[in-house]
A = this chain, B = another copy of it.
């Protein structure tokens, strides 16, 4: 089922299908959940949630990309995650946490499904399999975050950019023209690698000179993963 088809599909179960943590749930259970998760749309650039509004809901991303980020007192931003379709986000509410000062912004026009905290408690945590999946997801995030923290502390900007590019491009199959594409601007990449736009531009230029990536407007093609891994170190 391609994405456009899914969007047009009036099927009530649509919110649950093709979402990783629900993969082994049967139709009857999904039906109950789907009723509790109405669909909602956001325009590119709008905020899905922010620290001010105390949203206590879980989101399931069906279409588009979401950027989760934090803001420093002086206005700089650090992107902590980019959410792809088929993933839940805003999971902190599941485990009784605040959304801890994070913003969620639609990178494109997006479609999400929304579940209230109460429904999360009864429908998700009540199910052993889903609860286990959620723990697993949290564990993975924890490992990734710890890695990012040590990267931020130990690694140089070129190393962090190489790391970020490799992470973003993995899984993406190489389309025509050889090389996996990362569809981000230098500014967006800078916010992920915790650096400035200017140095990002400079370092990406050096990478391109070495032939490990090739640059396009809002689009970076990873040509030589091996050498990028060498730059990343460890």
Q: List A residues at the B interface (Cβ < 8 Å).
A: 70, 72-73, 76, 78, 80, 91-92, 94-98, 100-102, 125, 131-132, 134-136, 138-143, 145-150, 152-154, 194, 233-234
Contact = CB atoms under 8 A, between A and B. Distances in A.
Contact of A138 (B80, B95, B100, B233): B95
A138 B136 contact: no
B149 A152 contact: yes
B149 A98 contact: no
Contacts of A147: 100-101
Given A138-B138, A149-B149, A149-B152, 6 more contacts: A73-B233, A73-B234, A92-B139, A92-B143, A94-B139, A96-B139
B135 A138 contact: yes
19 contacts: A70-B150, A72-B153, A72-B154, A73-B233, A76-B154, A78-B150, A78-B153, A92-B142, A95-B135, A95-B136, A98-B143, A100-B147, A101-B147, A102-B146, A135-B138, A138-B139, A145-B145, A148-B149, A152-B153
Given A72-B150, A234-B73, A142 B141 contact: yes
B139 A97 contact: yes
Given A73-B233, A135-B138, A139-B138, A149 B94 contact: no
A213 to B, nearest CB: 23
Given A80-B149, A154-B72, A132 B125 contact: yes
A233 B74 CA distance: 11
- Quick one: which of A72, A80, A132, A150 has the most chain B CB within 10 A? A150
A101 B138 CA distance: 18
A153 B95 contact: no
B98 A146 contact: no
Contacts of A234: 73
B143 A100 contact: yes
A230 to B, nearest CB: 13
B78 A154 contact: yes
Nearest to A144: B100
A140 B97 contact: yes
A190 B152 CA distance: 16
